[in-house]
Amino acid sequence: MPELPEVETIRLGLIKRILGQKIVRVQVLEKKAFIGSVKNILNQEIINVERRGKLLRIFLDHDLELQVHFKLNGQILYQEEDLFKKNKYTRVILFLEDGSRIIFNDMRKFGWMKVAKRDLFKDSDYGIEPLTKYFTVKNLRKVVISSTKPIKTLLMDQKKIAGIGNIYACESLFQARINPFKIAKKLTTNEIDSLYKSITNILQCAIVKKGSSMRDEMYRQVTGELGEYQTQFLVYEKEGEKCFRCGSSIKRLKQGGRSTYCCKECQK
């Protein structure tokens, strides 16, 4: 579920609420959801909240961090004491010193929280980070022209470009008028320029709209509110609807076991 814009929205929601707080108690309701020792993060102060691709990184004292990977259904909520509510999908609760709580929910149990040493974090495990100074047309071109994969598969390869999942890959390729099945190295210079602009534009807009909350409404902001970018989708989950640009029917095609949504007339 959460891709870059959703994780970034969660990061922004947390950073203005939890900095300087200490974690005073940790309740693990699902063992496999919490990797590492709870003891190591007790009484540690939260000093920053960062993000790399789809990975959320809560920085603590003593060179430690608590990483969160949301996979498909993970959710982080921030609750004041009096609003506290867990549900049947609550896997971990972090209690902060002022009585507030960070709740990690995950219906499908794919996601996890992990205690890790900050200096062991391998930035090179992740590809170019969009919306940073490293994400330039030149760097995107370098990655694109050296790959024989279909462009959509490449966009979702976290080791090449970090943070893009199925939704934003489909939407970016539609906006750039590129066929998701086109082999990356066959893209023209103009197409790569266009793709660069569409990725940047769509991710920025999605962050402004606080991410995308889909039909099962699993993604929420930390306040519990829904995101709003799903109202801007032009192809994702629009099978059979008319293309916004040319009016022909939006197709759903299988690609690497996943659904790819596109317009066969506009995306060549």
**Active-site residue, selected from the candidate residues 11, 54, 160, 220:** 54
The identity of residue 11, as a single letter, is R
Specify whether 133 is catalytic. Answer: no
Could you tell me which stretch among 18-26, 134-142, 160-168, 193-201 binds DNA (CB under 7 A)? 160-168
> Which x/- pattern, by CB under 7 A, does the window 69-108 give for DNA?
x-xxx--------------x------------------xx
212 binds DNA (CB under 7 A): yes
142 binds DNA (CB under 7 A): no
Angstrom distance (rounded) from CA 215 to CA 227: 12
267 binds DNA (CB under 7 A): no
Taken as a whole, the chain contains a residue count of 268
Could you tell me how many residues of this chain bind DNA (CB under 7 A)? 39
**Active-site residue, selected from the candidate residues 109, 258, 264, 265:** 258
Specify whether 150 is catalytic. Answer: no
Q: Of 139, 108, 116, give the one whose Cα is nearest residue 60.
A: 116
DSSP bridge partners of 161: 128
36 vs 150, which CB is nearer to DNA? 150
Write down the least CB distance from residue 144 to DNA, Å.
Answer: 11
Q: Which of 219, 221, 222, 243 binds DNA (CB under 7 A)?
A: 219
Task: Label the pairing between strands 46-52 and 64-69.
Answer: unpaired
Write down the least CB distance from residue 110 to DNA, Å.
Answer: 4
The tokens of 59 are what?
């920085």
258 binds DNA (CB under 7 A): yes
Residues ≥6 apart with Cβ < 8 Å to 131: 4, 200, 203, 204
Place of tokens 């317009």: 263
> Which x/- pattern, by CB under 7 A, does the window 25-64 give for DNA?
-------x--------------------xx----------
DSSP string, 14-78: HHHHHTT-BEEEEEESSGGGEES-GGGGTTPBEEEEEEETTEEEEEESTTEEEEEE-TTTEEEEE
225 binds DNA (CB under 7 A): no
Q: What share of the chain is helix, strand, coil (3-state, %, to 5)?
A: 30, 25, 45
232 binds DNA (CB under 7 A): no
C-alpha 229: how far from its chain's center?
Answer: 13
Specify whether 54 is catalytic. Answer: yes
Binding site for DNA (CB under 7 A): 1-3, 6, 32, 53-54, 69, 71-73, 88, 107-110, 147-150, 153, 156, 158, 165-167, 212-216, 218-219, 252, 255-259
Catalytic residues: 2-3, 54, 258
